[in-house]
């Protein structure tokens, strides 16, 4: 029984550590590369516009994001690339890398990249599962209601599936971003390695999120099994 307790807490600590390490690496890379300007001096907004136009996406607008730092995203509903102020206005390695990555999603959408369609189909269910999963788990744990506990675990499994589908989409968008930055000469050869490092650090956060969810599922299964035995 003690072994189950130890494993349960070990999974909790491991999940927390994975997220902290990934976020720290992302923040470290961002703060490093946001201070290094590219030789060509294109802003993130200019970079996004250049790549969009080069790929026949003149109908996609580039605009400021309403969120805070690193709230950058592509919105397929209104065909907009939304960039946070730092990314939009600045000429850093971080700015052009993040902008190119978000445009990578726009190119995926145009080309009908298969994983995106699958992700969009399960997105509403994943959003519901993400919002309600932990609440259901909490109620199941507090009141010792096993069906609620299992329902909460199922919700986390849906989130994990969504995260698994998201990984290749993000990696592919980064690959497209690097190709566009190189082919359009937005960054030089030396800067390409820095752009790649920046995008790898960002991708690590998605990997960490998946690992965290898997660890939490395993932890909840251990708790459920222990309570069932009790």
DSSP structural state of residue 92: B
Q: Where are the beta strands (DSSP E) in 41-124?
A: 61-64, 73-75, 80-83
Residue 154's pLDDT is: 96
CB 105 within 8 A of CB 173: yes
Query: 144-183 pLDDT, tens per residue?
Result: 888 999 999 999 999 999 999 999 999 999 999 999 999 9
User: Using an 8 Å Cβ cutoff, are 152 and 134 in contact?
Assistant: yes
Residue 228 pLDDT > 90, yes or no? Answer: no
Among 102, 111, 117, 182, the active-site one is: 102
Question: What was the pLDDT predicted at 70?
Answer: 86
pLDDT tens for 166-225 read: 999 999 999 999 999 999 999 998 899 999 999 999 999 999 999 999 999 999 998 887
Q: Which residues, listed in sequence order, are joined to residue 83 by a DSSP beta bridge?
A: 64
Q: What's residue 195's pLDDT?
A: 97
19-71 tens-digit pLDDT: 999 999 999 999 999 999 999 999 999 999 999 999 999 999 999 998 888 89
Strand extents, DSSP E, the chain? 61-64, 73-75, 80-83
> Could you tell me where the DSSP H helices lie in 55-113?
85-89, 93-111
Q: 75: helix, coil or strand? A: strand
Active-site residue 117, yes or no? no
Q: 43 phi and psi, to 5 degrees? A: -75, 170
**pLDDT confidence of residue 136:** 93
Integer Cα distance of 98 and 91 in angstroms: 11
- CA 100 to chain centroid: 15
């Amino acid at each position: 029984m003690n072994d189950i307790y130890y494993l349960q807490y070990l999974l909790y600590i491991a999940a927390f550590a994975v997220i902290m390490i990934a976020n720290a690496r992302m923040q470290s890379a961002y703060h490093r590369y946001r201070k290094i300007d590219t030789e060509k001096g294109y802003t993130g907004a200019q970079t996004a516009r250049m790549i969009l136009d080069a790929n026949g996406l003149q109908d996609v607008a580039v605009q400021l994001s309403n969120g805070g730092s690193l709230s950058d995203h592509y919105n397929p509903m209104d065909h907009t690339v939304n960039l946070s102020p730092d990314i939009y206005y600045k000429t850093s390695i971080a700015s052009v890398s993040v902008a190119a990555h978000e445009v990578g999603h726009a190119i995926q959408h145009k080309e009908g990249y298969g994983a995106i369609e699958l992700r969009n189909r399960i997105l509403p269910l994943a959003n519901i599962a993400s919002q309600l999963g932990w609440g259901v788990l909490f109620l199941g744990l507090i009141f010792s209601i096993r069906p609620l506990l299992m329902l909460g675990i199922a919700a986390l499994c849906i989130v994990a599936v969504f995260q698994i589908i998201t990984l290749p989409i993000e990696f592919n968008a980064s690959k497209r971003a690097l190709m566009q930055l190189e082919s359009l000469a937005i960054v030089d050869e030396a800067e390409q390695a820095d752009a790649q490092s920046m995008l790898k650090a960002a991708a690590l956060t998605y990997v960490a999120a998946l690992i965290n969810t898997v660890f939490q599922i395993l932890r909840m299964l251990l708790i459920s099994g222990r309570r069932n035995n009790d």
